[in-house]
Amino acid sequence: MARYTGPSCRLCRAERAQLFLKGDRCKGPKCPITKKMGPPGRGPRTRMKKISDYGVQLREKQKLKRLYGMLEKQFKIVFNHAARQTGITGENLIRLLESRLDNIVYRMRFAPSRKMARQIVSHGHIYVNGRRVNIPSYHVKENDKIEVRDSSKKLIVIKEALKEYSKSGIVPWLNIDPDNMIGTVTSLPRRSDVTDLAHIKEQLIVELYSK
């Protein structure tokens, strides 16, 4: 499946927001947002033009799409799925994005970033309900058990990522046994549970695709 292979920090600069695409680097002084670097392709003294309503909606969609490491075609498929479900489309969209296996691996602290979580899943290091799943876009369900393959539990990248669990824990809809590297999806998240996406206005994305 196609994926973005360019510089990650350029995406954060384009959206003028921290998308946490490079793990711990995003929390340090080298982050371009922390350094207050401007958008790519613009000089430091270039005056920003007033953005249109369409531009606001587009940037919101790009921000969410890049946050989860998806390309346009992949993102549109998920949106169409959310639109067909009952309930509020924007909330359905966030729930579907959060239930992707690569995101769950990231949320369980088995990877320092969603990009690395995608790689860990693709390389076959993750089991779902005792079965190896190497599709990052696989949607987990309530009560699914996610675990690191026995032969992969010695990987340094996973051990280092799990240190974040002792610092900040995990989201409330997941449960994890860090010693055995096993986690459970106790429920699918509500929109209010995803507090680190409070700055995302998903209704703007719904309005964009409704045109």
pLDDT by position in tens, the chain (length 211) = 556 555 555 565 555 566 665 555 555 555 555 555 556 655 555 556 777 889 889 989 998 998 998 999 999 999 999 999 999 999 999 999 999 999 999 999 999 999 999 999 999 999 999 999 999 999 999 999 999 999 999 999 999 999 999 888 899 999 999 999 999 999 999 998 898 888 889 999 999 998 7
Fold category of 8-97+195-209 in CATH: Ribosomal Protein S4 Delta 41; Chain A, domain 1 (1.10.1050)
Q: Where are the domains of the chain?
A: 8-97+195-209, 101-188
Contact 49, 193 (CB under 8 A): no
- Kindly give the interhelix angle for 202-209 and 89-98, rounded to the nearest 10 degrees: 110
Fold category of 101-188 in CATH: 3.10.290
Report pTM.
Answer: 0.81
Contact 120, 158 (CB under 8 A): yes
